[in-house]
Structure 1
Amino acid sequence: MIFNSKINTLLFLAVVSFFSAQKKEISLSKFPDDKVMVVAHRGDWREAPENSVWAIKKAIEKGVDMAEIDLAMTKDSILVLMHDNTIDRTTTGKGKPSDFTLAEIKKLSLRDGLGVETQMKVPTLEEILEISDGKILLNLDKGFDYIKQVYPLVKKRKMLDQILFKGHESYSEFNQKYGDIKNEIHYMPIIGLNKKEDLEKIENYIQNYKVYGFEFTVGNTEKYLIDFKTLRKKNVKIWVNSLWPHHNAGNNDDMVLVNPNVYDWYIEKGINIIQTDRPRELIIYLKNRKLYY
């Protein structure tokens, strides 16, 4: 029994070592352009409730570069993690996050992906910043709605180089609202390739502001696809989600179950940030091709 226990321990350590190789630096500005950044959607939600502390910890354990999380605000103006407009799907409660104080929402339990109640609680943004600092980058989806509240929290912790903001604003809207802090944050516009007004945003941003990159929604086919490699020569990163077919011309995460090389499409197109629901499979793919940081 002792012998078997030692073997199991060694196997566990080997798996942890495989997925959690130490990064040189947890830094957006120093992330190498020739590597592909792995972003875990709502944390590693296949192993834990989405937007939970454990989902972030599991992403860190696997060696994920960045966790994407969603923000909402409670009745007493505390930022918590929540994707939906209501808490109905992901917790044991019902209503909007703004219907509850933090103390009230902490009495509820998170549900897992099957809707089963767990012992985990809705975390605050400050809790997530605490466990992620120096271990994993964060993308605050919907965080731009609360940037005036988020910015001082992140700046106080000296984490501005670990946090990526995204939004749909045109450059003029962005500059009008956030011009006073725009040069201190990392920002990425979200672009729908089938929208003419979105395409016009690309050049406006490049001419006026140092964006970190652009997130693109490709569509179900390559009809609206542009040349990402040419865009990368302008010193920006290219983010495409592998979550669902309409993001990536059908080259989505579930394809990896039958075709482990589905991510070839991303590399061939010049994409160097991938948000995924299957971080384990993506990391294995990138390690095999020496594209993992």
Structure 2
Amino acid sequence: MKFLKPFLIIAFALGITACSPRTYVHVNNLAEYLRYQPGKKPQISAHRGGGDYNGYPENCIESFAFLARKMPIVIETDIAMTRDSVLLMMHDDTYERTTTGTGRVSDQTWEYAQTLHLEDNRGNRTRYRIPTLDEVLKWGRGKVIYTLDVKRSVPLHWVVEAVQRAGAANYAVIITYSVQQAELVHRLDPSLMISVTIRTMEEYQRLHEAGVPDNRMVAFVGTREAPAELYDFLHKKGIMCILGTLGNLDKMAIARGDEVYVKFVENGADILSTDRPIEAGRVLGLVK
């Protein structure tokens, strides 16, 4: 037994564990994992990485880990860029709301960002720091699926290159907001999954005509429930649908009870993007 103790000390220091929690998501083929199939379990996407829980800030690896231990989770996370071109995880253009810092992210260096502590959404300072995109991608392998929200100041090709560099194509989806962005991501790397906005059949048709294949799309249908015919149209093409419950639909759940998340799924949503991932996951039977 004497040899075992030094090994355990080294393993602990390196973050090695004997086995992964059963809630972790390890995917060999993301396109297949995100292909619609009747009867498939719904999924939960944590908006901004789930920053609405005490002590767990937005866009923070520690917050991602907190949720990933509770259920299989999709992490929606935001990418910004410092003045010296470091890609870091930050939703706002400025540091004030979510950190101990001040000023615009794009006006400050990465060296400055490293001096800051993250704050949760109630303004409580934590010991956690702002992670880079590279750090987030490295941590997420075998644990979560990411949907990467690329802020306007960030070159899309840099994000694609970071995903390629990390070998993260099987657990990272690129969020796009226009046909042009989706077409660019697909041209840069045809193997990547892309989150596209499809609120009408016409929006689907424009993406189709731009050459974005059905088997690379995950459809964000908006922040209000989509018509049944749109869900049916997309499902017949094997495209999973993300409903953004963040905002009004989450408020509806608070007012009427969390069972409304079940109704959203019954009506056609496959992935719920929410600020209340634990509550939604619990009522859908996903929380372990």
TM-score (norm 1): 0.78
SS at match of 1:217: coil
**In structure 2, C-alpha distance between the alignment counterparts of 1:30 and 1:181, rounded to whole Å:** 21
User: Match for residue 116 of structure 1?
Assistant: 124
1:216 touches 1:238 (CA, 8 Å); kept in 2?
yes
**Superposition deviation, residue 240 in structure 1:** 0.6
User: Match for residue 17 of structure 2?
Assistant: none
TM-score (norm 2): 0.80
1:148 aligns with 2:157: yes
Q: Which amino acid aligns with 1:277?
A: D
Residues matched between the structures, number: 259
Paired-residue identity, %: 25
Instruction: Select between 257-266 and 121-130 the one with higher mean Cα deviation.
Output: 257-266
User: Match for residue 54 of structure 1?
Assistant: 62
RMSD: 2.8
From 180, 186, 191, the counterpart of 2:187:
180
User: Match for residue 259 of structure 2?
Assistant: 261
User: Match for residue 82 of structure 2?
Assistant: 74
**Superposition deviation, residue 257 in structure 1:** 6.5
Q: Which amino acid aligns with 1:155?
A: Q
Deviations 1:181-204 (A, max 9, x none): 24121112124x4xxxx6522112
Stretches of structure 2 that go unaligned for 5 or more consecutive residues are: 1-20
User: Match for residue 232 of structure 2?
Assistant: 229
**In structure 2, C-alpha distance between the alignment counterparts of 1:67 and 1:238, rounded to whole Å:** 16
1:40 touches 1:64 (CA, 8 Å); kept in 2?
no
Stretches of structure 1 that go unaligned for 5 or more consecutive residues are: 1-18, 246-250
The 5 A counterparts of 1:1-40 are 20-23=22-25, 25=27, 27-31=29-33, 33=36, 34-40=40-46
The 5 A counterparts of 1:127-206 are 127-142=135-150, 145-170=154-179, 174-175=182-183, 177-178=184-185, 180-191=187-198, 193=199, 199-206=201-208
**In structure 2, C-alpha distance between the alignment counterparts of 1:274 and 1:149, rounded to whole Å:** 28
Q: Which amino acid aligns with 1:217?
A: G
Shift in CA distance, 228/162, structure 1 to aligned 2, threshold 3 Å: same
User: Match for residue 216 of structure 1?
Assistant: 221
**In structure 2, C-alpha distance between the alignment counterparts of 1:230 and 1:199, rounded to whole Å:** 8
**Superposition deviation, residue 231 in structure 1:** 2.0
